[in-house]
């Protein structure tokens, strides 16, 4: 006789985790130019279901951001199911679970010493966002994950593949290449990025992710239990959730459920706290007496409670309210950094930083490799937000992908015609470096690449003395401010070694009228 | 040194077996020994048929492609611009040439360009991908250049440049067919066939602009197309080389073809109302004996 075996409940959870993770990686890889001007789907959907980022960006801007509407669904589901999101959906959680064997935890962390920390962080972030210090993107799990994948892991993976397949291409005999070259072509067509990209803060982004993983040494899901402000927000919601785990009471000395609980959600009396339980369902499987069940009920008493210290909580709120005012005492508050060049469609600086969740998608999708994470150009509150670094890469004239993938609309989703009207900066020439000026050597690579149909870089033919004191006629470039969009291709392509002789600054950027340039056309120039 | 020895050096360097940079010092045929340069041009609306017309008097594609040859068809796909904007070679012209080369029994036909704008955008928006995807022939390879395949080459006959990184397939091609688009260029006034060869260069190509005319001629000592077909179906008169404004475009429906790369450039220059001697690269290449620039000495056939 065949015995029908029931599929253990946690199998479903694992399946969901794997499916969500696969979907996540698929979307991540697809966050790229695909041969069409419009990108159909990108990893930005992940951020739009994130209620922490929805709330903090909305608080920072002062109204609800419509793009983030799906986040409400997450909250509603949490009201019913509890913190299922952390256990069944979150790709960061899945990766942490997956690396459990590689980074084994020392203890169970039953005492929950740091458990309240995430609530303080949440309070600090939201109050900070309100008063002008929007930092949610620093610690949001999706931001940490996508940012480090985009800025560090993805380019490193490509570098690894390129190095390996270059060595086989150059060193290995033909029959090896017969195997490796098709493999390389396959990888390039599937998981590898189209070309090698380079990013500032790559190591810092990676380090933050590594710390999240290394914290697993202290206890399982340390980040989720103690730090994750999204987890905190879901925990607050889950306090009222309908689906509750109920454990046995008269089960003697067995502590299996406590031992396997990855969230440390089960106390000595085997109460399962909805604040922590992420519904992984492992405890059901490990309970020898089959005493654990999950049922819908609204009458359950919540135990343990938040366990917050009132003093600490008020302190964190006060910090969030006070710190922003220190920002106003910086020189940056008076004069912004001229190299703070924002992507086309970026909102005014304050609103932009408020909405930007530091996910790094715009930088990943930037086909010119021009967008880079800011370090301190926009202040501490602007770290990891995108700026154009025109020596590394430029803004492709016909491309509008950054605005399409921005989950919060910090970069407006402009169509191509609108985008071409946006000026993000202005080029200027360093005449001590620029060859036709400084050395009498012909060049004009900047003019060649200038993409506006009526070129913003024009030239005059001038007779000059070169370094050998010979009279030569050269074409010297100059800029028509009205035509320049600040794309930076001139700075990228300037063939000089080291510093470019063309520099793009944020002068004249159309999002900030205070930066307006004195256009020649307004002063009587024909 | 003959061609076989040069290709051996390229192969050895690529395989990491030789640290010595390949030398290129294969001379051009002396002007006295050469037949007078033959050039054809034709005008018409059907660009595929136009290709056949200009190739006819030159002996047809079979003259340039033998059975089993490795053929490179090198268009200009440098810019993220559409076909009407005249910044890239017209895709129908390229398609016709590729098909003729395949018909002639080519072993493989390679089409590529190192672009100035983002690679994929250029290949797609130039219309090239659409035009070539229809050719269902495994011998056609339309691809983005692979960074690993640029080979440094010492240019022994170069006057302004001594070493360049050149794409391996371009060096190894049995038949190299250059298909530039004729258009305005700020620095060099026009970009034609010789300038189009910059699409096979690796490294920092911007430095070519310091003494562009001579450097293009130096490059032309190595990259010697068997056939040059200049696309003047529509030409860009201003704001080149990438244009973007249709007011700068003039439709000529014309193709120019020649076995002599210098003659092709020289004749195409006249389409802009300029004289061959006004283009530095033409003069420099003529000076190196790479071809004829005096229009009176070129046999020009209207096909």
Least-confidence region, from A247-251, A505-509, B85-89? A247-251
**Confidence label for A253 from pLDDT (cuts 50, 70 and 90):** confident
Instruction: Give yes or no for residue B30 having a pLDDT over 60.
Output: no
Convert the pLDDT of each residue in B140-190 to its tens digit: 999 999 999 999 999 999 999 999 999 999 999 999 999 999 999 999 999
State whether A185 and A225 are in the same domain. no
Please report whether residue A34 resides in a domain. Answer: yes
- Alpha carbon of A394: minimum distance to chain B alpha carbons (Å): 10
- Residues of the domain holding A462: 423-526
Cβ-in-10-Å burial (0-12, 13-18, 19+) of A111 comes to exposed
CA-wise closest residue to B160 among B280, B293, B263, B7: B280
The predicted pLDDT at position A526 comes to: 42
Q: Above pLDDT 90, what percent of chain B? A: 88
List, as ranges, residues 453-482 from A with C-beta within 8 Å of B. Answer: 453-455, 459, 475
Q: Give the three-state DSSP class for B110.
A: strand
Rounded to whole angstroms, how far apart are CA atoms A122 and A228?
8
What total number of domains does chain A contain? 3
Comparing CA positions, the residue from A243, A273, A244 lying closest to residue A258 is A273
Domain end call among A252, A271, A296: A296
- For chains A and B, count residue pairs whose Cβ atoms are closer than 8 Å: 88
Q: Is residue A158 part of a domain?
A: yes
CB contact under 8 Å between B121 and A367, yes or no, is: yes
Q: pLDDT category, A472, cuts 50, 70, 90?
A: very high
B116 → chain A, closest CA residue: A449
Please report how the helices A229-238 and A70-81 are oriented relative to each other, as an axis angle in degrees rounded to 10: 50
A97/A233 same-domain check? yes
Contact assignment for B16 to A399 by CB distance below 8 Å: no
Domain boundary (A296, A325, A342) is at: A296
A172 and A132, same domain (yes or no) = no
Contact residues on chain A for B243, CB-CB shorter than 8 A = 453
Same domain? A35 vs A180: no
Q: How far apart are CA B17 and CA B37, in angstroms?
A: 41
The answer, for A33 touching chain B at a CB cutoff of 8 Å, is yes
Question: Is the CB of A398 inside 8 Å of chain B's CB atoms?
Answer: yes
A475 contacts B187? CB cut-off 8 A: yes
Residue B203 backbone zone (phi > 0: left; psi -120 to 50: alpha; other: beta)? left
B121 touches chain A (CB under 8 A): yes
CB contact under 8 A, A454 and B120: no
Does residue A132 share a domain with residue A23?
Answer: yes
Residue of chain A whose alpha carbon sits nearest to that of B185 = A448
Supply the mean pLDDT for chain B. 94
Closest residue in chain A to residue B15, using alpha carbons only: A170
- Residue A462 distance to chain B (closest CA, Å): 13
| The domain boundary residue, chosen from A185, A206, A227 | A206
In this structure, the answer to whether residues A87 and A152 fall within a common structural domain is no
pLDDT tens for each residue of B223-248: 999 999 999 999 999 999 999 999 99
A262 touches chain B (CB under 8 A): no
pLDDT band at residue A299 using 50, 70 and 90 as cut-offs: low
Q: Kindly determine whether residue B206 and residue A443, on different chains, have CB atoms separated by under 8 Å.
A: yes
Give which of A505, A485, A488 is closest to A391, Cα–Cα. A488
A367:B210 CB<8 A: no
Angle between helices A229-238 and A51-61 (to 10 degrees): 100
Report pLDDT for A309.
Answer: 86
Decide if B75 contacts B191 (C-beta within 8 A): no
Q: Where are the alpha helices (DSSP H) in A31-149?
A: 44-48, 51-61, 70-81, 84, 91-98, 117-131, 136-139, 141-148
DSSP state letter for B291: S
Residue B253 forms contact with A (CB below 8 Å):
no
Q: Among residues B238, B210, B186, which one has the least CA distance to residue A467? A: B210
Q: How confident is the model at residue A519 (pLDDT cuts 50, 70, 90)?
A: confident
> Does some domain include residue A76?
yes
Domain ranges for chain B, please list them.
33-302
Tokens, residue B180: 């530039």
Got the DSSP string for B225-259? -SEEEEEEEEEE-SSTTT---GGGEEEEEEEEEES
Closest chain B residue to the Cα of A173, Cα to Cα: B15
The answer to whether residue A320 sits within a structural domain is no
Residues in B 16-75 with any Cβ partner in A closer than 8 A: 16
Residue A297 clears pLDDT 90, i.e. is over it: no
Residues of chain B in contact with residue A454, where contact means CB-CB under 8 angstroms, are: 239, 245
- CA dihedral (B77, B78, B80, B86) in degrees, to 10, reads -70
Burial of A497 (0-12, 13-18, 19+ CB in 10 A): exposed
The nearest CA of chain B is from the CA of A115 a distance in Å of 49
Find out if CATH 3.40.50.2000 is the number for domain B33-302. Answer: no
Tell me, yes or no, whether A284 lies in a domain.
yes
Look at residue B217 in the predicted model and tell me its pLDDT.
97
Does A253 lie in the same domain as A106? yes
CATH code of A443's domain: 3.30.70.20
Give CA–CA dist B24/B119, Å, rounded.
29
In chain B, the residue whose alpha carbon lies closest to the alpha carbon of A474 is B187
Q: Is residue B258 over pLDDT 50?
A: yes
- Among A78-82, A250-254, A347-351, A447-451, the minimum mean pLDDT is found in A250-254
pLDDT bin (cut points 50, 70, 90) of residue A194 is very high
pLDDT for A3 equals 54
Write out chain A residues lying below 8 Å of B244, CB-based: 451-453
Mutate which of B209, B246, B280 to disrupt the A interface (most A C-beta within 10 Å)? B209
Please indicate whether, in this complex, the C-beta atoms of A448 and B186 are within 8 angstroms of each other: yes
**A499 falls within a domain:** yes
CA distance to partner chain A, nearest, from residue B228 (Å): 24
For residue B241, list chain A residues with Cβ-Cβ distance below 8 A.
448
**If you compute the radius of gyration of chain B from its CA atoms, what whole number of angstroms results?**
18
**A23 & A108 share domain:** yes
State whether B186 and A368 contact (CB < 8 Å).
Answer: no
- Using one digit for the tens of pLDDT, what is the confidence trace for A34-50? 999 999 888 899 999 99
Residues A121 and A151 in one domain: no
Q: Does B4 touch chain A (CB under 8 A)?
A: no
Q: Are residues A118 and A259 in the same domain?
A: yes
Which of A413-417, A449-453, A512-516 is the least confident region? A512-516
Within-domain flag for A357: no
A472 shares its domain with A496: yes
DSSP one-letter code for A495: -
Mean pLDDT, chain A, integer: 92
Q: Rounded CA gap, A112 and A363, in Å?
A: 38
| A442:B211 CB<8 A | yes
Residues paired with residue B41 on neighbouring β-strands, in sequence order = B256, B302
* Nearest residue in A to B148, CA atom: A166
Q: Name the residue among A169, A396, A447 with its Cβ closest to that of B121.
A: A396
Instruction: Tell me if B118 and A435 make a contact (CB, 8 A cut-off).
Output: no
Classify residue A366: in a domain, yes or no: no
CB-CB: which of A35, A435, A493 is closest to B210? A435
pLDDT in tens, A300-309: 555 556 678 8
Together in a domain, A202 and A223: no
Cα(B87)–Cα(B113) distance, integer angstroms: 13
Is the per-residue pLDDT at B59 higher than 80? yes
DSSP 8-state class, residue A62: T
Residue B150: strand, helix, or coil:
strand
Give residue A523's pLDDT.
57
Q: How far is B241 from chain A (nearest CA, A)?
A: 6
Put simply, the answer to whether B245 touches A454 (Cβ < 8 Å) is yes
Higher pLDDT: B15 or B205? It is B205
> What does the pLDDT read at residue A303?
58
Cα gap B274→A77, rounded to integer Å: 73
């Amino acid at each position: 006789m065949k015995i029908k075996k029931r599929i253990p409940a946690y199998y479903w959870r694992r399946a969901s985790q794997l499916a969500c993770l696969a979907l996540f990686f698929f979307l991540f890889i697809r966050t790229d130019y695909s041969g069409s001007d419009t990108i159909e789907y990108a990893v930005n959907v992940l951020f739009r279901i994130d209620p922490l980022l929805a709330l903090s960006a909305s608080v920072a801007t002062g109204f609800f951001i419509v793009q983030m509407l799906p986040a409400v669904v997450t909250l509603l589901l949490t009201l019913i199911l509890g913190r299922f999101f952390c256990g069944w959906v979150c790709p960061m959680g899945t990766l942490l679970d997956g690396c459990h064997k590689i980074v084994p935890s020392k203890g169970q962390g039953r005492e929950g010493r740091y458990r309240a920390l995430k609530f303080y962080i949440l309070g600090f972030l939201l109050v900070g966002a309100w008063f002008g210090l929007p930092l949610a993107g620093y610690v949001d799990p999706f931001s940490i994950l996508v940012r480090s994948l985009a800025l560090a892991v993805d380019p490193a993976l490509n570098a690894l593949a390129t190095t390996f397949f270059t060595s086989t291409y150059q060193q290995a005999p033909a029959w090896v290449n017969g195997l490796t070259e098709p493999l390389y072509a396959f990888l390039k067509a599937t998981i590898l990025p189209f070309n090698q990209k380079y990013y500032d803060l790559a190591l810092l982004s990676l380090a933050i992710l590594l710390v999240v993983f290394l914290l697993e040494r202290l206890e399982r899901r340390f980040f989720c239990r103690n730090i994750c402000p999204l987890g905190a927000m879901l925990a607050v919601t889950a306090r009222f959730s309908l689906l509750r785990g109920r454990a046995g009471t008269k089960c003697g000395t067995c502590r299996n459920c406590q031992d396997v609980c990855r969230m440390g959600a089960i106390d000595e009396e085997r109460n399962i706290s909805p604040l922590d339980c992420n519904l992984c369902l492992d405890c059901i499987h490990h309970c020898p007496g089959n005493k654990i069940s999950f049922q819908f009920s609204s009458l359950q008493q919540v135990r343990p409670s938040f366990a917050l210290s009132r003093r600490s909580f008020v302190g964190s709120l006060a910090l969030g309210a006070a710190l922003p005012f220190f920002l106003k005492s910086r020189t940056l508050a008076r004069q912004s950094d001229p190299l703070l060049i924002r992507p086309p469609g970026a909102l005014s600086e304050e609103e932009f930083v408020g909405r930007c969740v530091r996910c790094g998608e715009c930088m990943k999708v930037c086909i010119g490799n021009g967008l880079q994470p800011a370090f301190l150009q926009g202040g501490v509150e602007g770290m990891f937000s995108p700026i154009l670094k025109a020596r590394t890469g430029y803004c492709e004239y016909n491309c509008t992908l950054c605005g399409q993938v921005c989950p919060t609309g910090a970069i407006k989703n402009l169509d191509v015609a609108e985008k071409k009207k946006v000026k993000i900066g202005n080029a200027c020439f360093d005449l001590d470096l620029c060859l036709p000026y400084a050395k009498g050597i012909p060049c004009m690579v900047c003019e060649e690449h200038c993409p506006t149909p009526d070129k913003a870089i024009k030239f005059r033919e001038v007779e000059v003395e070169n370094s050998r004191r010979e009279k030569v006629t050269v074409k010297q470039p100059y800029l028509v401010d009205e035509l320049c969009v600040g794309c930076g291709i001139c700075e990228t392509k300037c063939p000089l070694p080291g510093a470019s002789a063309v520099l793009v600054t944020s002068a004249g950027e159309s999002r900030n009228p205070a930066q307006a340039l004195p256009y020649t056309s307004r002063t009587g120039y024909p | 040194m003959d061609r076989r020895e040069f290709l051996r050096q390229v192969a050895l360097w690529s395989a990491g077996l030789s640290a010595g940079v390949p030398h290129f010092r294969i001379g051009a045929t002396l002007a006295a020994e050469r037949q007078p340069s033959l050039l054809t041009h034709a005008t018409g609306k059907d660009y595929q048929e136009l290709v056949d017309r200009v190739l006819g008097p030159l002996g047809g594609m079979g003259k340039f492609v033998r059975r089993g040859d490795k053929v490179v068809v090198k268009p200009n796909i440098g810019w993220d611009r559409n076909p009407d904007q005249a910044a890239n070679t017209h895709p129908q012209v390229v398609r016709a040439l590729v098909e003729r080369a395949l018909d002639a029994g080519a072993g493989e036909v390679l089409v590529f360009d190192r672009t100035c704008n983002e690679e994929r955008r250029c290949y797609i928006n130039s219309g090239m991908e659409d035009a070539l995807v229809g050719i269902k022939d495994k011998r056609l390879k339309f691809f983005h250049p692979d960074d690993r395949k640029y080979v440094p080459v010492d240019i022994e006959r170069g006057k302004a440049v001594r070493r360049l990184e050149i794409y391996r397939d371009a060096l190894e091609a049995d038949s190299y067919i250059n298909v530039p688009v004729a258009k305005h260029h700020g620095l060099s006034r026009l970009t034609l066939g010789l300038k189009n060869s910059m699409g096979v260069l690796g490294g920092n190509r911007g430095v070519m602009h310091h003494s562009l005319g001579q450097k293009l001629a130096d490059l032309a000592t190595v990259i010697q197309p068997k056939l040059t077909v200049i696309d003047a179906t529509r030409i860009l008169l201003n704001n080149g080389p990438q244009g973007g404004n249709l007011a700068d475009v003039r439709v000529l429906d014309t193709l120019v073809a020649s076995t002599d790369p210098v003659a092709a450039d020289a004749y195409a220059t006249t389409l802009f109302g300029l004289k061959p001697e006004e283009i530095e690269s033409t003069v420099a290449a003529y000076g190196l004996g790479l071809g004829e620039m005096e229009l009176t000495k070129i046999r020009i056939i209207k096909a």
